[in-house]
Amino acid sequence: MKRKLRNWYTYASPVTLYPLVNRLIPWFAIPSAILFAAGLYVGFVVAPTDFQQGEVYRVLFIHVPAAWMGMLLYVLMSVYASLGWAYNIRVSSMMASALSMTGAMFTLISLVTGSLWGRPAWGTWWVWDARMTSTLILLFLYIGFIVLQMSIDDPRRADRAGALVAAVGLINVPIIYMSVQWWNTLHQGATIRIVQQSTIAPPMLTALLLMVAACWLYSVAVVLARLSCIMTEREHFQVAE
């Protein structure tokens, strides 16, 4: 039992973690590609046409997973950063930095796809509803984290400063969301919801879940790849060819 515990702790060292990370990447990349293909197949071929929105609703299968990944990765980023700060684990902070880019990218994708969905469905390129506005603010939170880390030269200071920003951001997310909702109800015109809560046919749900899983696996693969790059750049250890 004690030996097993000691084994897990050794992975906090970059030298031990690095080969593991590199071995893991294909195990996530390939299933991700398969799930993307499966999700798109079910979403486009199997799922029926929505009687309210026609074919346009199919953007949902990339918009919703991207939005969820954006939010999930922010939470993960904050957690890893805080752990790295609290317990002084470098690798944990590196993981947070690795997560930030992917999270920001997914948030951006969700904003763009949301806009491209809104135009044909509701006639406007942008809808100032609570969810889209909150997603935009989430993007700002990511950008703050990334820019802060880019502008600090000392890596340990960058890690800790990022952890503080991420933690403060995480605490503020519920407050920001509530304030945006309040603002939205104050100025509410017509009730517009990006995701209709109408009946979701089983094939639609399947496609959605497949796409979420695909995005999730993609994120793991990409973040691990970025982590491996960060480890090599910062730790200067020999990279075995």
Partner 1 sequence: MNHTVYVWGAYAVAFAAMGIEVWILMKRKQSVRKPKSGNQP
Partner 2 sequence: MKATSAHGVIFRWLIWREILLSWRRRADLFSTLAFFIVIVSLFPLSVDPDARLLRSIAGGVLWVSALLSTMLGFHRMFSQDFADGSLDQLILLPQPLFLTVIGKVAAQFLLLGVPLVLISPLLGLQYGLTSTATLQLASTLLLGVPVLILLNAIGAALTLGIHGGGLVAALIVLPLCIPALVFGAGGNISLVGAVFALTLAFAPPATAAALRISLE
Under the criterion CB under 8 A, does residue 87 sit at the interface with partner 2?
no
Taking the least distance from each CB to partner 2, the nearer of 25 and 152 is 152
Q: What is the pattern of x (binds partner 2, CB under 8 A) and - over residues 150-169? A: -xx---xx--xx--xx--xx
Please report how close the Cβ of residue 93 comes to partner 1 at its closest, in angstroms. 18
Interface of this chain with partner 1, residues 153 to 182, rule: CB under 8 A: none
The listed partner (partner 1, partner 2, none) that binds 59, CB under 5 to 8 Å by sort, is partner 1
CA gap 158, 85 in Å, rounded = 11
> What is the CA angle 171-177-180, rounded to 5?
140
Smallest CA-to-CA distance from 63 within 131, 129, 163 is with 131
Please report how close the Cβ of residue 187 comes to partner 2 at its closest, in angstroms. 9
CA gap 93, 209 in Å, rounded = 30
Backbone torsion region of residue 238, taken as left when φ is above 0, otherwise alpha when ψ lies between -120 and 50, otherwise beta? beta
Under the criterion CB under 8 A, does residue 238 sit at the interface with partner 1?
yes
Please report how close the Cβ of residue 188 comes to partner 1 at its closest, in angstroms. 26
CA gap 6, 84 in Å, rounded = 19
- Looking at residue 42, its amino acid is V
**Dihedral Cα 7, 11, 14, 16, nearest 10 deg:** 50
Interface of this chain with partner 1, residues 32 to 91, rule: CB under 8 A: 40, 54-56, 58-59, 62-63, 66
Q: What is the per-residue burial (b if ≥16 Cβ within 10 Å, else e) of 114-148?
A: bbebbeebeeeeebebbbbbbbbbbbebbeebbee
Helix axes 90-122, 60-86, angle to 10 degrees: 160
Interface region with partner 2, contact rule CB under 8 A, candidates 2-10, 121-129, 173-181, 201-209: 173-181
Interface region with partner 1, contact rule CB under 8 A, candidates 2-10, 113-121, 178-186, 198-206: 113-121
Under the criterion CB under 8 A, does residue 119 sit at the interface with partner 2?
no
Please report how close the Cβ of residue 113 comes to partner 1 at its closest, in angstroms. 4
Under the criterion CB under 8 A, does residue 236 sit at the interface with partner 1?
yes
List of residues contacting partner 2 (CB under 8 A): 137, 140-141, 143-144, 147-148, 151-152, 156-157, 160-161, 164-165, 168-169, 171-172, 175-176, 178-180, 182-183, 186
List of residues contacting partner 1 (CB under 8 A): 40, 54-56, 58-59, 62-63, 66, 101-102, 105, 108-109, 112-113, 116-117, 119-120, 218, 222, 225-226, 228-229, 232-233, 236, 238-239, 241
